[in-house]
Amino acid sequence: MNMAVKIKTKYGLIDISNGVIATVVGGAATSNYGVVGMASKNALRDGVDSILSRANYKRGVVVKSEDNQVTVDVYIIVGYGLKISEVSRNVQDSVKYNLRSQLGIDTKAVNVIVQGVKVLDD
């Protein structure tokens, strides 16, 4: 697994670390209605119901890069009673948009993995 995404521009080479990508992805994912928070990709080790803080978003995002494009796996917890497919589609759209607009990265795929469901507090 690469530690950074390399983007070739007419001015030279840009390296963007996976930590930066994970922060952008986590921010984009958690800004969607219905997403309670980010979950760890290792749910058994870190706790199934554990919600990651902003500083730990990289534990809930897997980035794979090839040919100036990335594939991103996003692990989330969804609010109870919401349509999971709709929440997941919104996460995919916002992650793709934010990676493109903020970092100039084209995504090959955004895979959303729902690690849990939590009751939303009113």
Specify the pLDDT at position 86: 96
Specify the pLDDT at position 41: 81
Specify the pLDDT at position 60: 86
Domain ranges of the chain: 21-118
Q: Would you place residue 113 in the very low, low, confident or very high pLDDT band (cuts 50, 70, 90)?
A: very high
* The residue count for the chain: 122
**Alpha-carbon torsion (12, 92, 117, 41), positive or negative:** negative
φ, ψ for residue 47 (rounded to 5)? 100, 125
**Averaging pLDDT over each range in 36-45, 65-74, 81-90, which range is the top one?**
81-90
Q: What is the mean predicted confidence (pLDDT) over 56-80?
A: 86
**Highest CATH level, class, for 21-118:** alpha beta
CB distance 74 to 113 below 8 Å: yes
